[in-house]
Amino acid sequence: MGSRRLLTALAAVCALTLTGTVTGVGAGPAAGSSVRGAAGSGATTESYEVHYVRTVGDAVIRVEIWRDTRYDDTGQPVILTYSPYNSLSEPDPARDTVGERYVPEGYARAVADVLGTRGSTGCWDYGGPKEQQSGVDVAKWLADRDWSSGKVAMIGGSYNGTTASMVAARGDDVPELKAIVPISAISRWYGYAYGDGVRYFLNSDVPSDEGFDTPLAFDVGFAKTVAADPMGQHFADTARDRAAECDALAHTEEGYNRNPDYDRFWVKRDYRRHADDFRAAVLLAHGWQDYNVKQQEGTELFRALPVDDRSTPRVEGVPFKLMYLTQGSHSGGTRGERWLPLLDRFLAHTLMGVDNGVRRAGPVITEGASSDGPTAFRTEADYPLPSTDPTTLWLRSNQRGVGALAGRPDRTGGANTGSYVETGTSTEEVGSASNLPYVSPPLTRATRLVGSAKLHAVVRMQNPTMHLTPVLVDIAPDGSRQTVERGFLHVDYRNGLDETEPAPGEWVRATVELLPQDYTFARGHRVGLQVQSSNTVWAVPGNPGTVDLAEGRVAGATPVGSRLVLPTIG
């Protein structure tokens, strides 16, 4: 969701539309409005309006609406994007590809500026409670217009999809919200910044596709923008608020921390905690290769969302949920010819009441990968896939300098400890002295992995604030390697994220859950695992020091050693 060069580079990453061209992250009366008139020569039924909606802290949210007034009498449902990026789409951000597709079909297109950005007053809240409430206020205000049907959907990518989830998490506070389409979106801000306590950094696949500069890029970038109409009704108010410091210092302290407790700041910005409160239908899209907003932000929200049991009087969850997963990166979560027809059906059903069978169009549609590239899209019954079985491989030492991934643990009590010296310079590159490699025998059949591998490690760290960043790889018969999954754990948070529990010099158990994938290992290939403590292209390293890893029975520590568990099919 962030970029390396603030506003300029953010334009390439954060402008998500639904055709795949670009990607990006109590309602009071209108404080003011203006109508700029119909678009195009001779047009008489097209309306583009600018309004200001009062919200929390006496701020106003700028809302721009594009609609065809021919549909006013029957009531128009609204497709809303609540975005901090609208300065990139001047002068009329609602005239986008979403509007072009759906306004002619009788939907109204609305785009609003996130609290504290562009034409909205107030302070940017880093996804916090004020931002959430302002999104609720905008959705309710749109549903209450004379021309509106009273139904609202929220849609967008990156931050623009995150705002959809944050409003949906308010549940019964906003019954007007009937559907959300979060694309490559955050479901908990802690998980966007940190992998189990490890601060994400850049990446070696798509270096500009990362989020290390968030929150910095917003506190000194988008949160300082104003709308490009200086005669606008609230231009002076927005300019005044942009000069305020707001909470930039608190954002920085929480967003860049070597020991980041999951404290009240992050709890307030965790929408997944409120999955039971979602009431809008959900069409979630994400890229398996998204290393900006990590793929886990999408898959774990999908897992957490309960579906309402229509046979009971109580509402237990969402009416239905769908998940669309591609092999795209942050800008490719909606690629593939199946996406737009699916989106059309989803919006027609949830906003127009069309009985088109979309509830049965999944619930999971996933594009897999292999050493040869993407595979076909598959429709699956759930996530995690019901057909997956755990395959356990034990980390064992041998005499050739490369450990084995074996079907049985080593219980002999021999020399069952592997060691390396962490220097804070390790990467995913093969041959680093600061890791321990393990390799399985060649696979006798093609094996599909769907979900997150888990490394259950028994380790001894020399110092506090040290990490584990294992990497799962596919090793071809010619020795070439391809990364499949990578994981991150600040070992002091091995028992939970509320507070650190340093134990230097002691054997401890630490489980690393790797970021999920849908990947097929070919017959004859081998599964490889690199155990290391830094992955410096991908994350800020922890402290240096010696690391010992149990590779079998270690007296006083473990009878069986460390193991890798894979969610496999085949």
Bridge partner list, 7 = none
Q: Where are the domains of the chain?
A: 6-279+291-317+328-340, 389-569
CA dist 57 → 119, 235, 248, 249 (Å):
16, 18, 18, 20
Q: Which fold has domain 6-279+291-317+328-340?
A: Rossmann fold (3.40.50)
SS3 316: coil
What percentage of the chain has pLDDT greater than the value 70? 91
Mean pLDDT, residues 287-312: 96
Lowest mean pLDDT: which of 105-114, 217-226, 444-453, 512-521? 217-226
**Model pTM score:** 0.92
Distance CA 216, CA 297 (A): 21
Lowest mean pLDDT: which of 36-50, 251-265, 373-387? 36-50
Bridge partner list, 419 = 548
pLDDT digits (tens, 9 = 90+) for 89-104: 999 999 999 999 999 9
Lowest mean pLDDT: which of 30-39, 345-354, 437-446? 30-39
How many helical (H) and strand (E) elements, i.e. helices and strands, does the chain have? Answer: 11, 28
pLDDT of amino acid 274: 98
CATH 2.60.120.260 fits 389-569, yes or no: yes
Q: In Å, how far from its chain's centre is CA 76?
A: 30
pLDDT of amino acid 230: 73
* Helix (H) or strand (E) run with residue 454 in it: strand 454-461
